[in-house]
Amino acid sequence: MKKYLSTLLDELSATDKGSYFLVRCPKCGEKEGFLYKDQLKRVQDGTSHKVFVRCSRLNNCGETSVFSDIYWDELNNRKNFTEVEDTSNYPKEPALTRLASLVSLNANLFGFDNFAPWRGISKDVLVANGICYLDKSKFPKGWLTWMQQTASSYPQEHLGKEYLYANRDIVIPFVNEEGVVDRVLLRSSWDKRLNPQIKELTYKLTPKSIPIWNRKDAFGKDNILFITEGVVDALSIKEARPTANVVALPGVGQWKHFVKYANQINLKKKVVICFDNDKAGVTCRNGLARSLKSFNIWSESFDLHSFNDCNDFLNGNRELFIQTVNSFFAPKKKFLLNIDAIKK
């Protein structure tokens, strides 16, 4: 049914916060929903009649509510609802904005019907964690065009190599504390031609996005937080124990961002460091353990045995991997600092 935007905002008890409206979440009823003003511009110019509200109560609600058949009216002009924050530093391609909206609205709606478990990770775990599989038969027709257009925002040496973009059928959204996608990773589930150094393409949708995947788990119920080197390793932990709290870095060298974030949110959890069994992984694991200790945050290293990383472990010895993950939740598990990791 057709509805004017001003009416919708009144119904949601909207409060103007500059770049967004704080609104009542239609699902849980709490006034902790976000409606961003960039959507309103598209309603005003007639390019869209759909807006969405994302509840920020990630551990209690976190629902996305979609409103269709929304139209502009004169009352909106008087209220200056189209005032938006300065986006001059944002990516210029309109397609990036479209992808952010698509992922926010449809993260769990893309079809996995014909998709076998990816790297030992089940469909249920992928869907539960908002991973998008872009089945060409179900994703909007503009996907390939979007990939080619956004090539201009990546290093010059990638331009003209459309296959780098066209075959990336896995989209991994990074969602901030307000429930908005601010970064995406693009991967391929099958293309073996991709150079390992560019197996992931990263797109920052906002200039201040934090390179930590699944930040909401830092506020989860358990007192243990796993941190991995890469989202695939984090999903491997989720495969072993779906309720585990796990965050991931897009690269092991980003560990200082986690230290800053942990200090910022006054993290009280015990951290299990699950970095790779290579020189870089060991070096960064030790650096992270020392830094966490300086903030009185306890940490312990995850025992990978002879495997290189968590996903390798999952696929190499699934039973032992699950046992290792669950051992941190055993009633009498002693959580000690890794002494070797904090030696100078």
CB 217 within 8 A of CB 99: no
CA distance linking residue 178 with residue 62, whole number of Å: 9
> Of the given ranges (83-92, 164-173, 223-232), which has the lowest mean pLDDT?
83-92
Position 93 confidence tier, pLDDT thresholds 50, 70, 90: very low
Position 178 confidence tier, pLDDT thresholds 50, 70, 90: low
72, pLDDT greater than 50: yes
Q: What is the pLDDT of residue 276?
A: 94
Q: Is pLDDT larger for residue 238 or for residue 176?
A: 238
273, pLDDT greater than 90: yes
Supply 9's token pair: 């905002």
Q: What is the pLDDT of residue 164?
A: 59
CA distance linking residue 99 with residue 80, whole number of Å: 26
CA distance linking residue 28 with residue 55, whole number of Å: 8
Q: How do residues 11-53 score in pLDDT, each as one tens digit?
A: 898 888 666 788 888 888 888 787 877 677 778 777 778 887 8
Supply 267's token pair: 């993290």
Position 66 confidence tier, pLDDT thresholds 50, 70, 90: confident
**Most confident range, picked from 48-62, 111-125, 271-285:** 271-285
CA distance linking residue 116 with residue 104, whole number of Å: 24
Q: Is pLDDT larger for residue 248 or for residue 75?
A: 248
CA distance linking residue 239 with residue 89, whole number of Å: 37
Strands 224-229 and 245-249: parallel
CA distance linking residue 149 with residue 95, whole number of Å: 8
CA distance linking residue 285 with residue 344, whole number of Å: 13
What is the average per-residue pLDDT within 298-316? Answer: 96
Half-sphere exposure of 154 toward its Cβ, with a 13 Å CA cutoff? 21
CA distance linking residue 244 with residue 260, whole number of Å: 22
Q: What is the pLDDT of residue 142?
A: 46
What is the average per-residue pLDDT within 274-300? Answer: 93
Q: Is pLDDT larger for residue 200 or for residue 107?
A: 200
Residue % of the chain over a pLDDT of 70: 65
139, pLDDT greater than 50: no
Q: What is the pLDDT of residue 27?
A: 83
Question: Where in the chain does DSSP place strands (E)?
Answer: 3-4, 15-16, 20-23, 33-36, 51-55, 64-67, 70-71, 132-133, 170-175, 181-187, 201-204, 224-229, 245-249, 270-274, 299-301
186, pLDDT greater than 70: yes
CA distance linking residue 84 with residue 18, whole number of Å: 7
CA distance linking residue 214 with residue 197, whole number of Å: 23
Structural domains present in the chain: 3-79 (no CATH), 94-204 (3.90.980), 215-342 (3.40.1360.10)
User: Euclidean distance between the first and final Cα of the chain, in Å?
Assistant: 66
Q: What is the pLDDT of residue 129?
A: 86
Q: Is pLDDT larger for residue 267 or for residue 148?
A: 267
Closest C-alpha to 280, from 257, 260, 253, 313: 253
> Across the strands, what pairs with 65?
53
Q: What is the pLDDT of residue 104?
A: 47
Mean pLDDT in the chain? 75
Q: What is the pLDDT of residue 332?
A: 58
Q: What is the pLDDT of residue 320?
A: 97
**Most confident range, picked from 50-59, 70-79, 82-91, 165-174:** 165-174
Q: How do residues 188-218 score in pLDDT, each as one tens digit?
A: 776 565 555 567 777 776 667 788 999 989 9
Burial class (CB in 10 A: 0-12, 13-18, 19+), 246: buried
CA distance linking residue 248 with residue 232, whole number of Å: 9
3-state secondary structure of 202: strand
Q: Is pLDDT larger for residue 72 or for residue 244?
A: 244
Closest C-alpha to 212, from 265, 261, 171, 179: 261
Half-sphere exposure of 329 toward its Cβ, with a 13 Å CA cutoff? 15
125, pLDDT greater than 80: yes
151, pLDDT greater than 50: no
254, pLDDT greater than 80: yes
Closest C-alpha to 265, from 225, 238, 228: 225
Supply 319's token pair: 């039973």
Q: What is the pLDDT of residue 199?
A: 72
